Chain A
């Protein structure tokens, strides 16, 4: 008798690695990434719109003029000039930030991990939205918190629910929110909710982690003030150039008060010493001058048209009793199908029909989201979006009787 030890480490993993396992949904996404499948699942920015010649010039200049810096280690906090540029991006949205209070991270995703690392003890309660950004849930999960989910509606987080939770005696370590063009819900927190949330959290001494990757991708209407601008002392702000420039450079950042900032920098250095000096220099130079504005404006135009196509296609092809959000920016529409459907179960059939989405369950730690799906309009062309939504609508139509028969 011999035991086959497929993984000799299997009794050595930490508790936090328990949820890290192979999944059927991931396997389905591997098929969904094939070119004949219209993927409304991924959140990939449309980088084809970048002015490649300009990018090439910048890269060449960085390597010919600054190779000694670009190919070397650098400061954990990021270079002063890049931090100035990133602070300038925040100023575009009306948020004043001192570059000294800013740490550059490997995408905002690393900032989420660092925030978890310095703030969460196992068993701590943290507040997230329902639904919540799946990447934040996985980053925070490694620190073994308990998630308290607060519902979203068309005005963003339902702050009164948070208030009730606090009255019940909940003492969250922090509140995590994506106020602008929410991932996955597509909604934006209203002005009054922002004021309520900031006041409530200040009063209850609960810090806010504001994640704002999509704020500059506004299609219409006036921007709302960031939470950080409403209460700098109680808000840790996370930003990224992934959506306005390129996710490939992996440049994000966090802005926080000095005590938090110091720990973020130390945690960042412990994680990777420093970010890539090369891509940071490329980023720094790409935001020099005015070309990035024209590029951003073009991106916003593209995304706006794609959103319009998706909303029109949904109206045409989705069942009459389905509902969906109407984002005024960002990447995502959040659709709710009638209660007899089950979006995780339906995914394999959708991929078979050559269209993919993300089942709503990915965005809730507690198993909800079975009637929801996230549909991205950022990457596919308008024709593909129309076609993808048509295929999905047809699937829902064809399967209605089947699902009704089973849930009756």
Chain B
């Protein structure tokens, strides 16, 4: 029988989240009769383990660096093993918020006004004073995030200019660049996309603290979720439209989750792109699936099938 390795864990700060995703995906696939095994690239020699298990496809449930930035995908391409999700190039683009925003902007997909601050610029070019100019240009409140990280790690909401340097430091601990973005006030929704399936209903995110940060994401009960989102149909359609455009512009494949803020006029703004959406018990893509009548097992099976379809015919 076909052996599927569910890749989870890894060395990124999202290791724990990924392990939770991976365990759930593996048992979902197992209950569908699949020989699915959890494989942690950070435990033992990864490539050896892959070939020892005679893996014929991988389900990528890794989050963060290595798993979402194209590293693992390039390796699997070299090994000729099909895997779920996007190509290395698309991963690289989507995972790097600076590059992704530039591409979306150039393609006319709305993404909030931003400035990028690279650590090197601060180190070597004494760029510190530029922060004030950035505040003037973007105006408060702001969101600061690491360019290359997920799960809202290193994310900070800035309401006063005096808090900006600290927020940038925090983001730069996770990544070599920080994205400083104008905060869009309004509902936040997540658009799940599974290739070949109808667009999934939007999931509306209402964090009780007001901020959808790490604690709000991973403490059950800290955030309320509504699916479908409580939006006018036209507003929801527009949000789904920009999500689909994002998927295409960045060249995503199989599956993705696009996070969108809706401003007061009902206009959507893309704030984040995930090539390996969380699959934990508090994750958004599974909720979207459920709202569309697609159970978790079915969701995992559909995503896996997309990868299996690319397998060289035996």
Residue positions of A touching B, CB distance < 8 A: 1-4, 6-7, 9-10, 13, 21-24, 26-28, 30-31, 34, 36, 342, 344-349, 351-352, 401-408
- Interface contact A1-B226, CB-CB below 8 Å: yes
CB-defined contacts of B217 to chain A, threshold 8 Å: 22
Given contacts A6-B223, A30-B16, A31-B11, contact A22 B215 (CB under 8 A): yes
How far is B165's CA from A404's CA once the two chains are assembled, in angstroms? 10
User: Which residue in B131, B218, B224, B227 is a CB contact (below 8 Å) of A22?
Assistant: B218
Q: How far is the CB of B121 from the nearest CB of chain A, in Å? A: 9
How far is B230's CA from A375's CA once the two chains are assembled, in angstroms? 49
User: Which residue in B126, B173, B230, B291 is a CB contact (below 8 Å) of A349?
Assistant: B173
CB-defined contacts of B17 to chain A, threshold 8 Å: 27
B134 within 8 A of A: no
- Interface contact B215-A21, CB-CB below 8 Å: yes
How far is B228's CA from A36's CA once the two chains are assembled, in angstroms? 44
How far is B124's CA from A7's CA once the two chains are assembled, in angstroms? 48
- Interface contact A405-B174, CB-CB below 8 Å: no
How far is B229's CA from A2's CA once the two chains are assembled, in angstroms? 8
Contact pattern, B 208-233, Cβ under 8 Å of A = 1, otherwise 0: 00000011011111111111101000
B103 within 8 A of A: no
Q: How far is the CB of B176 from the nearest CB of chain A, in Å? A: 10
Contact pattern, B 114-129, Cβ under 8 Å of A = 1, otherwise 0: 0000010011101111
- Interface contact B173-A347, CB-CB below 8 Å: yes
**For residues 186 through 238 of chain B, which have their beta carbon under 8 Å from a beta carbon of chain A?**
203, 214-215, 217-228, 230
Known: A4-B287, A26-B16, A405-B123. 4 other contacts (CB 8 A): A4-B227, A22-B214, A22-B219, A24-B215
- Interface contact A27-B225, CB-CB below 8 Å: no
Given contacts A4-B287, A346-B173, A348-B173, contact A402 B221 (CB under 8 A): no
- Interface contact B128-A3, CB-CB below 8 Å: no
CB-defined contacts of A26 to chain B, threshold 8 Å: 16
Contact pattern, B 153-184, Cβ under 8 Å of A = 1, otherwise 0: 11000000000011011101110000000000
User: Which residue in B122, B123, B170, B223 is a CB contact (below 8 Å) of A345?
Assistant: B170
Q: How far is the CB of B19 from the nearest CB of chain A, in Å? A: 8
How far is B281's CA from A406's CA once the two chains are assembled, in angstroms? 38
How far is B26's CA from A6's CA once the two chains are assembled, in angstroms? 21
20 CB contacts below 8 A, A to B, read A1-B230, A2-B227, A3-B225, A6-B223, A10-B222, A21-B222, A22-B215, A24-B153, A24-B154, A26-B16, A27-B151, A27-B153, A36-B11, A342-B169, A345-B166, A347-B173, A402-B119, A402-B122, A402-B123, A405-B127
How far is B153's CA from A23's CA once the two chains are assembled, in angstroms? 10
Chain B CB within 10 A, most for which of A4, A344, A347, A348: A4
Q: How far is the CB of B208 from the nearest CB of chain A, in Å? A: 8
User: Which residue in A21, A30, A406 is a CB contact (below 8 Å) of B15?
Assistant: A30
Contact pattern, B 23-55, Cβ under 8 Å of A = 1, otherwise 0: 000000000000000000010000000000000
Q: How far is the CB of A36 from the nearest CB of chain B, in Å? A: 8
- Interface contact A351-B225, CB-CB below 8 Å: no
B14 within 8 A of A: yes
- Interface contact B128-A405, CB-CB below 8 Å: yes
Q: How far is the CB of B281 from the nearest CB of chain A, in Å? A: 7
Residue of A nearest to B151 (CB): A27
Residue of A nearest to B222 (CB): A21
- Interface contact A23-B215, CB-CB below 8 Å: yes
Q: How far is the CB of A344 from the nearest CB of chain B, in Å? A: 8
User: Which 3 interchain pairs have the tightest Cβ spacing?
Assistant: A10-B221, A7-B221, A7-B220
Residue of B nearest to A30 (CB): B16
Given contacts A2-B291, A345-B173, A348-B153, contact A31 B13 (CB under 8 A): yes
CB-defined contacts of B220 to chain A, threshold 8 Å: 6-7, 10
How far is B119's CA from A13's CA once the two chains are assembled, in angstroms? 42
CB-defined contacts of B173 to chain A, threshold 8 Å: 345-349
B282 within 8 A of A: yes
How far is B169's CA from A407's CA once the two chains are assembled, in angstroms? 9
Given contacts A22-B215, A342-B166, A348-B153, contact A2 B14 (CB under 8 A): no
Q: How far is the CB of A19 from the nearest CB of chain B, in Å? A: 10
How far is B131's CA from A7's CA once the two chains are assembled, in angstroms? 40
CB-defined contacts of A27 to chain B, threshold 8 Å: 13-17, 151, 153, 214
How far is B151's CA from A352's CA once the two chains are assembled, in angstroms? 16
- Interface contact A6-B221, CB-CB below 8 Å: yes
B139 within 8 A of A: no
CB-defined contacts of B13 to chain A, threshold 8 Å: 24, 27-28, 31, 348, 351
CB-defined contacts of A406 to chain B, threshold 8 Å: 122, 128, 131, 165-166, 168-169
- Interface contact A6-B16, CB-CB below 8 Å: no
CB-defined contacts of B119 to chain A, threshold 8 Å: 402
Residue of B nearest to A349 (CB): B173
- Interface contact A401-B122, CB-CB below 8 Å: yes
How far is B172's CA from A405's CA once the two chains are assembled, in angstroms? 13
Q: How far is the CB of B221 from the nearest CB of chain A, in Å? A: 3
CB-defined contacts of A349 to chain B, threshold 8 Å: 172-174
User: Which residue in B123, B168, B169 is a CB contact (below 8 Å) of A401?
Assistant: B123
B305 within 8 A of A: no
How far is B219's CA from A9's CA once the two chains are assembled, in angstroms? 12
Q: How far is the CB of B313 from the nearest CB of chain A, in Å? A: 39
B87 within 8 A of A: no
